[in-house]
Amino acid sequence: MLLTNHAPSPTAQLIDGKAFAAGLVAEIAVDVAAMVAAHGIRPGLAVVLVGDDPASAIYVRSKIRKTEAAGMASFAHRLPASASRQDVLAVIDALNRDPAVHGILVQLPLPPQIDATTVLDAIDPSKDVDGFHIVNAGKLANGRTDGMVPCTPLGCLMLLKAELGSLAGLHAVIIGCSNIVGKPMARLLLREKCTVVLTHQKTQDVAAEARRADIVVVAAGRPGLVRRDWIKPGATVIDVGINRIQTADGPKIVGDVAFDEVSAVAGRITPVPGGIGPMTIACLLRNTVEAAREHIGRMPRSAA
């Protein structure tokens, strides 16, 4: 069940990412069981966590739990916040060589003394289930479909296609141009033949850009940034933001979209929590199964 009438909003239908992700994970578990039965190979995901960022620790625990629940193998590597770049590179080198590991993920952000680009580019691109390696980013930028695609934008795209069908010809505005979400999202929507506007901190009038959009994807890291008057009536709004704020009722997680007012004008909207977050982890499992499938494809016929 993907669409739910959402009581507080007179118009917008809620896009239930949590339910969609649960369905995806159930399908992945079936694929995993089939792979084990046919080839004796269990997809394996290695997660590398450096330091003690509390949110990262929660996400890593959730990734490990869901990986194992889908019948896959998980390998956790935890390094102290004082770890050096060489320490992290040594772990990645070992994981690159380990045949039981089909996917490697380095949880971001890394501590300030470690350059993320160097670390991400040390991962074997065929095991880069986050899709952040420059080879995979380059493939996506060139419209190639044979690379790994970053999990959050992939999750957004899956929901958009499930909701809207063909996206061809639609006007899409992306707010925030990070390497993790904004840029790969723009490339994926371009591949779907959307007209894409990618906004950033120096964009002169982001609200005016957003008002033209059939699809608005927001990944700015600013709670409540997108207001009712930014949205064309009936537009689809995808909120990627995850912000922890304090309210009179205690701590709360909110997105980058002022949900109550925007859902009164949008046609469809993702909630936070329960929207894109769960899709990120489901797509990580999906990418790991795909990496294992590719690995089987490269094995000599007698072994596969």
Ligand X SMILES: Nc1nc2c(c(=O)[nH]1)N[C@@H](CN(C=O)c1ccc(C(=O)N[C@@H](CCC(=O)O)C(=O)O)cc1)CN2
**Minimum distance from CB of 296 to ligand X (Å)?**
25
For 190-210, letters b (16+ CB in 10 Å) and e give bbbebebbbbeeeeeebeebb
What's the Cα-to-Cα distance from 44 to each of 31, 108, 109, 279, rounded to whole Å?
13, 20, 23, 19
Give the span between the Cα atoms of 47 and 101, in whole angstroms. 10
Report helix, strand or coil for 114. coil
Q: Could you give the CA distance from residue 234 to residue 251 in angstroms, rounded to a whole number?
A: 31
Pick the binder of ligand X from 88, 151, 173, 285 (CB under 6 A): 151
Q: Report DSSP state, residue 255.
A: -
Residue nearest to ligand X (CB): 277
Q: Which stretch binds ligand X (CB under 6 A): 31-39, 203-211, 220-228, 269-277?
A: 269-277
CB of 113 to ligand X, least distance (A): 18
- Interface of this chain with ligand X, residues 87 to 106, rule: CB under 6 A: 105-106
> Is residue 57 a contact residue for ligand X (CB under 6 A)?
no
Site for ligand X in 175-214 (CB under 6 A): none
Beta strands at 44-50 and 103-106: parallel, antiparallel or unpaired: parallel
Q: Does 58 bind ligand X (CB under 6 A)?
A: yes
Phi-psi region of 192 (alpha: psi -120 to 50; beta: other; left: phi over 0): alpha
- For the CB of residue 212, give the shortest distance to ligand X in the complex, in Å: 27
292 counts as binding ligand X under rule CB under 6 A? no
Catalytic center residues: 63, 107, 130
Binders of ligand X among residues 222 to 261 (CB under 6 A) are 242, 253
Task: Rule CB under 6 A: say whether 282 interacts with ligand X.
Answer: no
Residues within window 107-136 making contact with ligand X, judged by CB under 6 A: 107-108, 130
Output the smallest distance, CB 276 to ligand X, in A.
6
For the chain, the first-to-last Cα distance in angstroms comes to: 37
173 sits near ligand X (criterion: CB under 6 A): no
* CA dist., res. 160 & res. 257, Å (int): 17
Q: Which is nearer to ligand X, 65 or 200 (CB)?
A: 65
69 binds ligand X per the rule CB under 6 A: no
